[in-house]
Amino acid sequence: MAETGASPLPPTPPAHPPLVRAEQFMWLTARVLEQRLFSYHFLNGGPDPVETALDAYRNEDGGYGHALEPDLRGPASQPLHTGRALRVLDAIERCGGQRAERVCRYLTAASTADGALPAVLPSQRGYPAAPFVPVVDNPPSELLATGPVVGLLHRNEVWHAWLFRATDFCWQAIDYLEKSHPYEIEAAVAFLDTVPDRSRAEATADRLGRLVRERRLAALDPERLDAYPVAPGYAPREHHFPHDFAKSPDSLARAWFTDEEMTRSLDFLAAEQEADGGWPIRWRQWAPAAALEARPVVTIEALHTLRAYGRLVG
């Protein structure tokens, strides 16, 4: 008589790799711009469709608006929108020539008296904006807005009169940093990673790294997040991790963290991918559309960081 018993369970099908899951999320959720960017980076798409999608956000003054930065709604050109536009142009290797000249003309007009950028200009008044980016009549220059823009222009070897004073502003702002918060440190790193004076950049980055560790601005153990404070005004669990500062192994910020700390950080980043294939946003959510549009941006950045460190994404 044949033996009886329970039938063996069928083998568990392999889970889809992160890139496949993220692709489904992009088609389901992302704006055309992020769909085109995802295709360019991960599906062998071309740069022309990316630039065409980006042009929809460009205004006649050479700046960008129309909620390109999702936390600022409305049509008005803003430095934060224009900084994001430069990141897109840099990603497709078109951050130069007449495109850069046009943007620099806008940056010159948008700058304060000290030659650097505020985060938000008064022209935003009357349009919806996140409560953590207040609109004031005479906004000051901020490293948060200026550092990444200057860094991208130096990275692409753009030379324009606006860059000289803006670069000096960034050096001075970073040199005087004694207390800070993670987004400002990220902006400083974006500047230091590409500014031409490499010896000064390395020495300055070393000092910033000590500040980050002394003030516990980076959550070094994702399993003990309660041990790390979040900055005033941040969402309750808006922590920042080593991979947020050192987005690639060649960043100056990579030296701030041990191999073990970076491994834990990247493991945490990989595990953050949600069931729908996208990555979450950790900052304060204030409007459904802003959160929906930000997640594809964060998802592309997460995949970039993982791939930069040699993690297999698919």
Q: How far, in Å, CA of 224 to CA of 219, rounded?
A: 8
What are the start-end ranges of the H helices in 246-287?
Answer: 259-271
**What pLDDT band is residue 16 in, cutting at 50, 70 and 90?**
confident
Q: How far, in Å, CA of 147 to CA of 116, rounded?
A: 9
Q: What's the alpha-carbon Rg for the chain, to the nearest Å? A: 21
**What pLDDT band is residue 7 in, cutting at 50, 70 and 90?**
low
Q: What are phi and psi of 13, to 5 degrees?
A: -65, 145
Give tens-digit pLDDT for 174-225. 999 999 999 999 999 999 999 999 999 999 999 999 999 999 999 999 999 9
Q: How far, in Å, CA of 85 to CA of 113, rounded?
A: 24
pLDDT of residue 306: 98
Q: How far, in Å, CA of 103 to CA of 32, rounded?
A: 22
Contact 196, 209 (CB under 8 A): no
Coil, helix or strand at residue 204: helix
pLDDT of residue 163: 97
Q: How far, in Å, CA of 156 to CA of 230, rounded?
A: 34
Q: How far, in Å, CA of 113 to CA of 108, rounded?
A: 10
**What pLDDT band is residue 117 in, cutting at 50, 70 and 90?**
very high
Give tens-digit pLDDT for 118-165. 999 999 999 999 999 999 999 999 999 999 999 999 999 999 999 999
Tokens of 199: 């010896």
pLDDT of residue 9: 57
Q: 9 or 81: which carries more pLDDT confidence?
A: 81
DSSP code at position 123: G
Q: How far, in Å, CA of 116 to CA of 121, rounded?
A: 12
Contact 247, 194 (CB under 8 A): no
Which contiguous run of DSSP H or E holds residue 242? helix 242-245
**What pLDDT band is residue 11 in, cutting at 50, 70 and 90?**
low
| CA dist list (Å): 314 to 169, 269, 285, 296, 311 | 42, 15, 30, 17, 9
Report the Cα–Cα distance between both ends of the chain, in Å, rounded: 49
Tokens of 1: 């008589």
Q: How far, in Å, CA of 196 to CA of 312, rounded?
A: 32
Tokens of 299: 């998802």
Instruction: Please say if the pLDDT value at position 173 is more than 90.
Output: yes
Tokens of 28: 């389901």
Give tens-digit pLDDT for 23-32. 999 999 999 9
Instruction: Please say if the pLDDT value at position 40 is more than 60.
Output: yes
